[in-house]
Amino acid sequence: MKESDRDRQLNIKTSGLHEMNEWNHTHYNRTESTSYQVLDVLRENFQFKENDHLLDFGSGKGRVLFYIHFHATIPVTGIEVSSTIFQQLEENKRLYLSKHPNTVPINLVNHFAEHYPIHRKFTVFYFFNPFSGTIFRQVLENIIQSIEEHPRSIRLIIYFPIPSYHAHLELLDLFELEQTIKIGIESGFTDEIIILTNKYNKGA
């Protein structure tokens, strides 16, 4: 099934790329939606918990948010820095809810990721290379501060992690690999999703 057909099922419009042209975007990457094939593989291999709340960094037009909200029925929050894309994200929320009304919250935030405070309600964090390793490090430090102030078990979902992401995770040494999900093995081109958890709060 085409990506556009999957969009229609959710009643959203998330196809296409968007370059960051509003301001100096050295540390922020273009908007590109995670493919539905990848999201399907994630759903088959990853179990959301009943009390989870997903925070999607660089949520773009919201494909991950609405997909997870629809299939997992958990609260989701998306943070998007581009004001232009954020308008499309808000419109997609309106379209999605018009077809799939649900009492589980969908929150949208137009903000810089590195300056966004991590509330204790957030337990799962999704990344598809939305920004540079420098910003990723700052975001990780914010997450760490949050779990130090409000101890809990959290998980990071990182699709197609770039080398600098791996480097910062190793330097901080506060997260451990829980699972690696391989994608596209049959095609000879392998993507991966890595799932990490914080080391010291597994019982939280």
List, for residues 63-96, the tens digit of each pLDDT value: 999 999 999 999 999 999 999 999 999 999 999 9
- Per-residue pLDDT band for 25 (boundaries 50, 70, 90) equals low
CATH assignment at residue 76: 3.40.50.150
- Per-residue pLDDT band for 7 (boundaries 50, 70, 90) equals very high
**Domain presence at residue 26:** no
Number of domains forming the structure of the chain:
1
Range of the domain at 57: 3-11+34-198
pLDDT score, position 112: 94
**Domain presence at residue 22:** no
**Domain presence at residue 20:** no
Q: What is the mean pLDDT of residues 158-179?
A: 96
pLDDT score, position 12: 98
pLDDT score, position 190: 76
How much of the chain, in percent, has pLDDT values that exceed 90?
82
State the helix-helix crossing angle for 63-72 and 83-99, rounded to 10 degrees. 30
- pLDDT mean across residues, the chain: 92
**Domain presence at residue 166:** yes
E strand intervals along 50-136:
54-57, 76-80, 106-110, 124-127
pLDDT score, position 32: 86
- Per-residue pLDDT band for 17 (boundaries 50, 70, 90) equals low
**Domain presence at residue 143:** yes
Q: List the alpha helices (DSSP H) in 123-192.
A: 133-149, 163-172
**Domain presence at residue 203:** no
**Domain presence at residue 154:** yes
Tracing tokens 């308008």 back to the chain, one arrives at 87
Residue 172's nearest CA partner among 193, 141, 202 is 141
Integer Cα distance of 88 and 92 in angstroms: 6
Residue 118's nearest CA partner among 16, 198, 190, 3 is 198
Tens-digit pLDDT profile for residues 31-72: 789 999 999 999 999 999 999 999 999 999 999 999 999 999
**Domain presence at residue 19:** no
Tens-digit pLDDT profile for residues 97-154: 999 997 899 999 999 999 999 999 999 999 999 999 999 999 999 999 999 999 999 9
